[in-house]
Amino acid sequence: MKNIIIVFSLMMSMLLSLSAAHAAADIEINTPAISAIKGSMQSRHAQLAPFYSSGAVGFSRDGLVAVRDAAAVPLAQRQALNNLVAAENKDRNALYAEIANGNQHPEWEPEIRATFAKRWADKAQGGWWVQDGSGWVKK
Amino acid sequence: MITRRDVPDLRITVGYWRASRRLTQLIFFIGMTWFIGMVWSPSLAMAASTLTIEADSVEAEGWQAKAVKVVLAPAQRPALALNSQIKVAKAPAWGSLHAECGQVKLPAGRGKWSCQQGLVTADRIRLPFNFTLDTAPVAGQPSLRLDLHVQDAQFSDAAGLHAAEKLHARAEVQARQQGGRWLWNAGLAWSGGELFWQPLYLQGQGQALKAAGTWDAQALQLDRAELLLPGVATVHASGKWSVPERQWQSLHVNVPEFDLAKAYPALLKPMVEQSALGHVEMAGNIALKADWQAGQLQAFKLRLRDVDMEDEQHRFAFYKLNADIPWDYEQPQPVQLDFAGGHLLKVPLAASHLQAEVNRYALTAPELRLNILDGALVLSDVSAAMLGGQWYWHLRANLTPLDMPALSTALGWPRMAGKVAASIPMVTYNAGTLTTDGVLGFNLFDGSISVNNLGMQTPLGSSPRLHADIEMRNLDLGHLTRTFSFGAIEGKLDGDIQHLELQNWQPVAFDAVLKSSPGRYPRKISQRAVENISALGGAGAAAAIQRSVLRFFDQFNYEKLGLSCRLHADVCTMDGVAEAPQGYVIVKGSGIPAITVMGYNRQVGWSELVSRIRRVTESNVKPVIQ
């Protein structure tokens, strides 16, 4: 019984320390690397927005973007679209890692990614596609 | 199996049929209708106006079909129709397949077959076609002549990564049997439409393929093939495709001349888009020969002639690049490369000639000499290897003295006097991370600067990082202040910048101390320098000078000066050479006239400090005094 109590209190303290740590994550932190990545993403957004509207590209559950309907895009633009998506995802992955690094906790990357995934989904405009647990959903 | 015959219509119903070999059986299955038509129709056509074959299910390696129905009715339109549900092994669901010929012409014996106004439709496929097949023997030998036109065809896979639209093409195949094998020649001409085959996008502009060879059950022998890409290149190939192994037993490809200005945007850029060569303007010619054995690349020879390449983001450029790059899996090959000029991260490169040896996936060179302005970066004992798609290399580097005025101008820095030289005992690069062992020494401003523990991550990537420790000794303050338009100071300066960290070439952290060097030398500071130093600490102190008696003097004596900044989390924590009430001493005066400059703010936002320095040095105007 005594052991169970010890294990339980250990687990509780771990949980508490974890949640305390997460509360401390500064998702708005700014470093030159982060502002460079954000700048690069901002300048790409104008190119991606028409693809969000047409449904060719949607926000995936893992905080990235994905081609969900290539047929909505003329053949001549498909590789450009693939490259845009690859470059955007490279930046997004780097952004999550940099924010975790900036917080001095690289291991927080998955939580930061999840927070951003939710943010992207919330910020998506009407008509854009967002991936949830069941699949692609049009907002 | 149930077979039923109705007169005047003939109907054959097959319950289940299993095919063992996929492609040949598919052809056989479709051809069965023809066979029945050919053999039976002369007699049956009188009695039967339609022939129907139905099968509940057909199964073969790689695909299966159900509810198959073939109707042959030569007098009707369409004359031949096939409807079926079909499922390819990997496909998640059944799809429908429809094929028809508007008009068919069946030979009475062996002879010409034709299908006019043909159409194949399935999920994401629409393929209108016409074809004629002549099976009349030539000189007593079985032979075939096939002529197929595809008009306005389109197809796509589910992901849309392999697709075509408005496709117009013509294929011609002639074959005759001789001594147990087929001698064939084929032509394919692509006249219009567009094709996306990830990552390539091509438009039909008269591309043509001509090929000839032999074929038997063991191998498809390609004696010669010629692929014409108008305005870009002609590709020659020969080889042997093994039928049982389903791979090229041998393949030889030769592209004698490739116009890079045309080939790069259409063919090469899509392949290398995510690499450093992904956004480059290219011109010039390349030639390529390559050999594959048993499906593996065995050797190649790449030749570059007068190639110009310029990175769109201005990270590098090479002009009049000529190279011979042979490679052989079995033996080491010498590589040669030279260029007339260029730049790398804005460092100007002069004409250079490089030689190395490539051994499978490793490259070695005793010395690579990159000429820079009037000096050179000499890399020695170079050893590089490609492992799992990542580069690993190490080398020693020596920078022979470079003229600093020319280099600083080229880099867009303030013009600096003197020479720069450096020596790095060991540089290693491991999959994106560059580290150095030893000290990089520079001679600048009549003093010395040494850089320790220099490391970089992804120097050509989107967010490059750099870290280093820098030590500066006896820099001439007169040179330094003139270079950066800071207001004249006479004396010598020592500096230590520990734990410098740059992200995207911007400082994010360091621990810096700048102070006058120990020793005997003249120490004078101008009034403008005093004002500028005061302005760095924020307005206030300078105003006091303006109002005081000190403004009658142009310069002052000092005993020592110094300023430190520890940058962390975008805030610079500042200190001087001595403590003072409510602040710290930046310049400690001595003699007559003497001046002491104080700093009061210990915490300054980094961006605020940078903009103050910029105001003082770049705009070269007096600080704003409130």
Residues B88, B47, single domain; the answer is yes
Tell me which residue range forms the domain holding A72.
30-138
User: Which chain A positions have a beta carbon within 8 Å of B156's beta carbon?
Assistant: 71
Q: What is the pLDDT of residues B342-401, one digit of tens each?
A: 999 889 999 999 999 999 999 999 999 999 998 999 999 999 999 988 889 999 999 898
Going by C-alpha positions, the residue among A39, A50, A41 that lies closest to residue A120 is A41
| Cβ pair B426, B454 in contact under 8 A | no
Q: Is there a domain that residue A72 lies in?
A: yes
| Cβ pair B325, B286 in contact under 8 A | no
Residues B423, B545, single domain; the answer is no
CA–centroid distance for B68 within its chain: 47
Q: Is there a domain that residue B581 lies in?
A: yes
Domain edge (last residue) among B383, B418, B444: B444
- CA-nearest residue of chain A to B506? A32
Q: Is there a domain that residue A52 lies in?
A: yes
Q: What is the pLDDT of residues A12-62, one digit of tens each?
A: 444 444 444 445 678 888 888 888 899 999 999 999 999 999 999 999 999
- CA-nearest residue of chain A to B194? A75
Which of residues 22 through 51 in chain B touch A, CB cutoff 8 A?
none
Q: Is there a domain that residue A16 lies in?
A: no
Kindly determine whether residue B504 and residue A98, on different chains, have CB atoms separated by under 8 Å: no
pLDDT at B515: 95
Interface membership of B137 toward A (CB under 8 Å): no
pLDDT at B276: 83
pLDDT at B553: 76
Interface membership of A75 toward B (CB under 8 Å): yes
Q: Is there a domain that residue B349 lies in?
A: no
User: Which chain B positions have a beta carbon within 8 Å of A54's beta carbon?
Assistant: none
Kindly determine whether residue A94 and residue B161, on different chains, have CB atoms separated by under 8 Å: no
Residues B493, B591, single domain; the answer is yes
Residues B502, B433, single domain; the answer is no
The shortest C-alpha distance from A76 to chain B (Å) reads 6
User: Which chain B positions have a beta carbon within 8 Å of A35's beta carbon?
Assistant: 504
B195, B463, B508: residue with CB nearest A94: B463
User: Which chain A positions have a beta carbon within 8 Å of B270's beta carbon?
Assistant: 79
Overall pTM > 0.80: no
Q: Is there a domain that residue B129 lies in?
A: no
Tell me which residue range forms the domain holding B579.
452-617
Q: Is there a domain that residue A14 lies in?
A: no
User: B35 is written with which tokens?
Assistant: 């066979």
Does residue B593 have a cis peptide bond before it, meaning omega lies within 30 degrees of 0? yes
Interface test with A, best of B124, B460, B500, B503 (most A CBs within 10 A): B503
The list of chain B residues with pLDDT below 50 reads 1-8, 19-24, 26-27, 33, 35, 37-47, 543, 620-626
Residues B460, B609, single domain; the answer is yes
pLDDT at B544: 54
Kindly determine whether residue B503 and residue A94, on different chains, have CB atoms separated by under 8 Å: no
* DSSP conformation class of B622: P
Q: List, as one string, the DSSP characters of B261-276.
A: HHHIIIIIHHHHTTST
Q: Is there a domain that residue B216 lies in?
A: no
Q: Is there a domain that residue A102 lies in?
A: yes
Give the sign of the dihedral formed by CA B578, CA B600, CA B555, CA B565: positive
Going by C-alpha positions, the residue among B451, B443, B445, B373 that lies closest to residue B415 is B445
- Total domain count for chain B? 3
More confident residue, A129 or B569: A129
B196, B504, B505: residue with CB nearest A75: B196
Interface membership of A111 toward B (CB under 8 Å): no
Q: What is the dihedral of CA B394, B399, B400, B403, to 10 degrees?
A: 160
Residues B430, B457, single domain; the answer is no
Q: Is there a domain that residue B101 lies in?
A: yes
Kindly determine whether residue B503 and residue A33, on different chains, have CB atoms separated by under 8 Å: yes
Cβ burial, residue B364 (10 Å; 0-12/13-18/19+) = middle
pLDDT at A17: 42
What is the DSSP pairing of strand B333-344 with strand B347-359?
antiparallel
Residue A67 has pLDDT above 50, yes or no: yes
Residues B409, B539, single domain; the answer is no
Q: How far is Cα B378 from Cα B359, in angstroms, rounded to an integer?
A: 22
- CA-nearest residue of chain B to A77? B201
How many residues are given for chain B? 626
Q: What is the pLDDT of residues A98-127, one digit of tens each?
A: 999 888 899 999 999 999 999 999 999 999
pLDDT at A10: 46
Q: Is there a domain that residue A108 lies in?
A: yes
Residue B172: strand pairing partners: B147, B187
Domain edge (last residue) among B385, B418, B444: B444
Q: Which residues contact B325 (CB under 8 A, 6 or more apart)?
A: B301, B302, B303, B304, B335, B337, B358
Residues B456, B597, single domain; the answer is yes
Q: Using alpha carbons only, give the angle B478, B480, B481 rounded to the nearest 5 degrees.
A: 70
Residues B438, B459, single domain; the answer is no
Interface membership of A19 toward B (CB under 8 Å): no
Domain edge (last residue) among B382, B412, B444: B444
Q: Is there a domain that residue B456 lies in?
A: yes
pLDDT at B32: 53
Residues B382, B524, single domain; the answer is no
Going by C-alpha positions, the residue among B559, B488, B500, B563 that lies closest to residue B525 is B488
- Total domain count for chain A? 1
User: B432 is written with which tokens?
Assistant: 């994106």
Contacts 24+ apart (CB under 8 A), B494-499: B494/B518, B495/B470, B495/B471, B496/B469, B496/B470, B496/B471, B496/B472, B497/B468, B497/B469, B497/B470, B497/B471, B497/B472, B498/B469, B499/B467, B499/B469
pLDDT at B466: 92
Q: Is there a domain that residue B243 lies in?
A: no
Q: Is there a domain that residue B347 lies in?
A: no
Residues B485, B600, single domain; the answer is yes
pLDDT at B160: 86
- CA-nearest residue of chain A to B505? A32
Interface membership of A4 toward B (CB under 8 Å): no
Interface test with B, best of A75, A83, A89 (most B CBs within 10 A): A75
Q: Using alpha carbons only, give the angle B346, A39, B484 rounded to the nearest 5 degrees.
A: 45
Interface membership of A104 toward B (CB under 8 Å): no
Q: Is there a domain that residue A94 lies in?
A: yes
The crossing angle, in degrees rounded to 10, of helices A32-54 and A75-102 is 150
Q: Is there a domain that residue A3 lies in?
A: no
Can you tell me the mean pLDDT for A76-97?
A: 92
Kindly determine whether residue A91 and residue B198, on different chains, have CB atoms separated by under 8 Å: no
Residues B462, B593, single domain; the answer is yes
